[in-house]
């Protein structure tokens, strides 16, 4: 990397760090503050302080997004990108929860497991307000206070450990959950460059889109969503399978499924990898591909469930999230619109119509995943790339879609997609969706306006770059969203 370009990368690193610090400072005033903090650290403030907090949080977020976008054009390598990731995540270590109250659910559910409650039958409201996890339970979003846990036993086992180690005390429990989130981010950063090299892509570019992504920083480092842990285990499992260590890889996928169930999609594409490597006849490849990884992951799932002591109730709670309407779900929006139209025209109940459209969307997503797996098995599509596309399709057609769900597929495609339209679309969507949620965790109407404006700005920026490329690029200037396939190959 030339001296001028290295200085530019460092400049964007410092700029992004300043943005992250501003987000965290603003978050102390307008973050997802608990209903009651016995330590008195994360408490509500007056209107003037909140106004300053909003200005800092949104201004810092915009600075970070711009710094990320420009950093991606410097062609920085793995080492520089890992240093930048450390700088950008460090401010979040001491931040209150940002952009989501889900961490309070995690802590409360860990306390429920610790006290012997069935987390797959009851919600956090069963906890004693004065007992362990009571403050966390009081801070859970109103949609989830009586909702059973949709998470797998492995994650609940980790949450139980947090509740046990901290006694359910709010601030230490949140900070310990953040350590888990940062460990997940480190796992993602470890796996991405290695997956990229295996696919002839730039490891530095993979880290830029998959790990430095502001959507990941805000919702994993800031919001503490367990999707980061699911993604990290999934990427590591796929990497091991790609290297021929499919037993260990399948075991990690089993753990990823026991965090959140969408990781099961990866098991199908790992089966393709194993089957293609098996050799021999079609029957032998299919049997080894499907039975081998499935048996290993299934064994891990069963063992984890037994060790956690939570039972197999998680099988029946996977649909609880679909009960909450989210505006990002196309199938839910279409179903709701059709249901309301039929209600006006024929007086019918809109809920069955909405449910039917949601189920059709989910079925279409599953069908697309099967098609992608079939094309991968036939050698017409790289299996890991197919996994990334399948996860994006699943999110796009799911009955409940949150902004950070885009990270499921982006984490994979960051390592497999060549520079081009797909990477550009993922980058623009990541930059836009980070505005959809307020630091307090709410989703105001202006968040969608900001997201739309960000999309427009991103498209105009990319069009301007293409026009500049067509007129002749300055010598040494890199094309947008692109890095040489051989970059960083010597880096371990």
Q: Which of 157, 16, 151, 1 is nearest to 89 (CA)?
A: 16
Whole-number pLDDT of residue 304: 94
Question: According to the model, what pLDDT value does residue 476 have?
Answer: 32
- Using an 8 Å Cβ cutoff, are 215 and 433 in contact? yes
Distances (CA, A) of 320 to 143, 316, 325, 331: 11, 9, 11, 16
pTM recorded for the entire structure? 0.91
- Residue 280 is predicted with a pLDDT of 59
Alpha-carbon dihedral sign for residues 241, 247, 250, 251: negative
pLDDT digits (tens, 9 = 90+) for 97-150: 999 999 999 999 999 999 999 999 999 999 999 888 999 999 998 878 888 999
Buried b or exposed e, range 275-305, using 16+ CB within 10 angstroms: beebeeeeeebeebbbebbbebbeebbeebb
Determine the pLDDT at residue 430.
96
95: left (phi over 0), alpha (psi -120 to 50) or beta: beta
pLDDT beneath 50: ranges in the chain: 472-492
Q: Please give the pLDDT value at position 365.
A: 94
Q: What is the pLDDT of residue 354?
A: 86
Q: CB neighbours (10 Å) of residue 398?
A: 23
State the pLDDT at residue 488. 35
Summarize pLDDT for 214-269 with one digit per residue, the tens: 999 999 999 999 999 999 999 999 999 999 999 999 999 999 999 999 999 999 99
The pLDDT value recorded for residue 284 is: 62
């Amino acid at each position: 990397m030339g001296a001028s370009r290295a200085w530019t990368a460092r400049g964007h690193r410092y700029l992004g760090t300043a943005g992250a610090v501003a987000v965290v400072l603003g978050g102390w005033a307008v973050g997802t503050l608990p209903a009651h903090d016995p330590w008195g650290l994360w408490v509500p403030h007056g209107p003037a302080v909140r106004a300053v907090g909003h200005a800092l949080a949104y201004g810092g977020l915009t600075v970070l997004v711009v710094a990320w976008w420009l950093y991606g054009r410097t062609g920085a390598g793995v080492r520089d990108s890992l240093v930048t990731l450390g700088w950008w995540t460090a401010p979040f270590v001491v931040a209150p929860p940002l952009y989501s109250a889900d961490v309070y659910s995690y802590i409360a559910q860990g306390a429920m497991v610790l006290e012997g409650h069935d987390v797959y039958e009851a919600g956090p409201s069963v906890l004693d307000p004065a007992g362990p996890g009571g403050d966390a339970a009081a801070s859970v979003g109103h949609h989830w206070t009586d909702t059973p846990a949709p998470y797998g036993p492995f994650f609940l086992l980790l949450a139980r450990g947090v509740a046990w180690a901290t006694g359910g005390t709010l601030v230490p429990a949140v900070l310990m959950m953040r350590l888990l989130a940062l460990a997940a981010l480190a796992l993602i950063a470890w796996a991405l460059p290695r997956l990229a090299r295996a696919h002839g892509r730039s490891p530095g570019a993979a880290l830029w889109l998959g790990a430095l992504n502001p959507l990941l920083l805000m919702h994993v480092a800031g919001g503490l969503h367990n999707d980061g842990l699911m993604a990290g285990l999934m990427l590591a499992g796929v990497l091991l399978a790609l290297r021929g260590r499919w037993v260990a890889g399948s075991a990690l996928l089993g753990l990823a499924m026991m965090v959140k169930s969408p990781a099961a999609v990866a098991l199908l594409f790992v089966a393709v990898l194993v089957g293609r490597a098996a050799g021999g006849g079609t029957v032998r490849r299919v049997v080894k591909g499907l039975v081998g990884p499935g048996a290993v992951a299934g064994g891990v799932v069963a063992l984890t469930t037994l060790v956690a002591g939570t039972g197999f109730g998680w099988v029946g709670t996977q649909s609880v999230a679909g009960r909450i309407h989210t505006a990002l779900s196309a199938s839910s929006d279409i179903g709701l619109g059709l249901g309301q139209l039929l209600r006006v025209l024929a007086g019918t109940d809109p809920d069955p119509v909405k449910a039917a459209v949601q189920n059709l969307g989910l079925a279409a997503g599953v069908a697309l995943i099967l098609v992608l797996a079939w094309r991968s098995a036939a050698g017409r599509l790289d299996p890991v790339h197919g996994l990334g596309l399948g996860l994006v399709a699943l999110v796009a057609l799911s009955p409940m879609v949150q902004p950070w769900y885009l990270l499921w597929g982006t984490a994979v495609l960051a390592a497999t997609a060549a520079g081009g339209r797909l990477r550009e679309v993922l980058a623009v969507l990541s930059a836009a969706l980070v505005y959809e949620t307020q630091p307090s965790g709410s989703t105001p109407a202006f968040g969608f306006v900001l997201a739309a404006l960000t999309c427009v700005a991103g498209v105009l920026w990319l069009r301007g770059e293409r026009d500049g490329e067509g007129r002749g690029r300055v010598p040494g200037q890199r094309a947008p969203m692109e890095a040489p396939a051989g970059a960083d190959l010597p880096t371990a």
